[in-house]
Chains A and B, each alone.
Chain A
């Protein structure tokens, strides 16, 4: 009997659990979000597990306090609550004191599709980027999730890890370690348009690129798995082969991933056409599966293909 593919949260928690078994200073704090792997952690390492209450503000203050006395602390909640509910605590307790707390947020974008916008995480990249000293990572497959988990154990730092709600297909096939320190990876090479994305939309971007290939458009796909600090020369090198860039995020367009890419290009005085695609500036209460919601918000594969085609056409005429 085939087992269901592993959820990102279980993969990450299991990675932490393995280390926590040997290191009693590894602490895992949850604001009432669960996981199968967390059930095991809680049962086998009760002294290293903390339920903070549905009290994200308390969770972050306490996490900073635990880190100050030498604990390797992980906080865990649905991404929308983990980021917005306790933003000031993350700033004043964790960031100000530069404490190496790892914030894990589950269900970025519209992962909790059936729950509506209170459970969507569509502002987190913008908000969390602004915190001084934070690292922001969006691992998009099993291998990168495990590698990131190990990084947080080997070199604890102030990090926010954005996890998707569903399981995601493999991307790296043993090669993630080659690119991890770059913070960015070109998953598919092309010469016309480069799609930059992360998370669930990264997988959709690969679908878009494959389909457009059949129409004779050479579309590359880049995984911007580390949003902050954004890549160094690696990204510029990758982009030098393309005529235009399309950034794709399940996030508002104010200050998110696309904005980060614009900042990168401006800071390096790199001139390349950029089209940013993201959520329209409103909240969506409609019922729907994630696929339906993505169609509603213009982030479905068909809409993305149209956008890329039009960017390609504009790039051709201005070449």
Chain B
């Protein structure tokens, strides 16, 4: 690896720790939020925004040539908030007002927030919206791409598969679905509730170019995203195998923590644990 690549890699690793800490403090202040779901997709979002994948303009959330991103698993939509502040789309002060009456940042994002392309909270819609964005871009010969972050529980929503079939038929290779495969939904493990089985096989069967990666490895995530536009016309599905609550010992892979708010003592323990970066590559 070159010096520049090492530097970039270190930046990404630092961002992992930064984002987890920012999200912790947002929830500690507001006593609201979904931390474990946000921690499983931390590296996914950082690789997109800071790994040279997304096209965007700092300070200009509605730039014409931008790629559109939606955290379709809306309960983790908050994970993008510190990133969007960092990009200058709104003041970082807003992170202190998360879920507060005088703040613009809501539990579930909506487009009144700069940098947010669509409301989320109800699962399964964003992929369809993005099919519209991507189809229009193709027909208008525009370079914009769309990146939709889906939960694996979200894959239960049938409308996603309607869109998946359509997108493959229309050869929307400017559409990327990233599945945060953390194996849990609110009531327990996906495989014990309604078996998803091989998520890769399912996307592949629907005609998507599908790759499976360690969702906490920048090397693997960035390699997957480098495939964009090189998929022989197929939309791209990145199945990111992740751990819900990654980085916090008492949250990792525990469904009971979905929307539980830690106690003050637990927040302190979390701060201690995050002194060591849970992500190493």
Contact = CB atoms under 8 A, between A and B. Distances in A.
A55 B160 CA distance: 10
Contact of A61 (B125, B139, B165, B169): B125
Interface stretch (A46-54, A211-219, A266-274, A299-307): A46-54
Contact of B119 (A55, A63, A97): A97
B129 A58 contact: no
Interface of B is mostly: helix
Interface residues of B, number: 27
Contact of A97 (B111, B133, B139, B166): B111
Given A62-B131, A62-B166, A97-B111, A71 B136 contact: yes
Interface string A37-67: 0000000000100101101011011111111
Interface in A62-87: 62-71
B133 A58 contact: no
A61 B128 contact: yes
A92 interface: yes
A97 B136 contact: no
B162 interface: yes
Interface string B163-191: 10110010000000000000000000000
Contact of A58 (B119, B131, B136, B139): B131
Contact of A68 (B129, B135, B163, B169): B129
Contacts of A65: 128-133, 136
B128 A89 contact: yes
B96 interface: no
A96 interface: yes
A61 B159 contact: yes
A61 B122 contact: no
- How many of chain A's residues touch chain B, expressed as a range? 20 to 34
B214 interface: no
A93 interface: yes
A88 interface: yes
B75 to A, nearest CB: 15
Contacts of B166: 52-53, 55, 58, 62
A116 to B, nearest CB: 24
A71 B130 CA distance: 14
Given A65-B129, A68-B132, A92 B122 contact: yes
A66 B137 CA distance: 10
Interface of A: 47, 50, 52-53, 55, 57-58, 60-71, 88-89, 92-93, 96-97
Given A62-B129, A89-B125, A92-B125, 4 more contacts: A53-B162, A53-B165, A62-B135, A65-B129
30 contacts: A47-B139, A52-B162, A52-B166, A53-B165, A53-B166, A55-B159, A55-B162, A57-B128, A57-B158, A60-B128, A61-B125, A61-B132, A61-B163, A64-B132, A65-B128, A65-B129, A65-B131, A65-B132, A66-B132, A68-B133, A69-B133, A69-B136, A88-B122, A89-B159, A92-B122, A92-B125, A96-B110, A96-B119, A97-B111, A97-B118
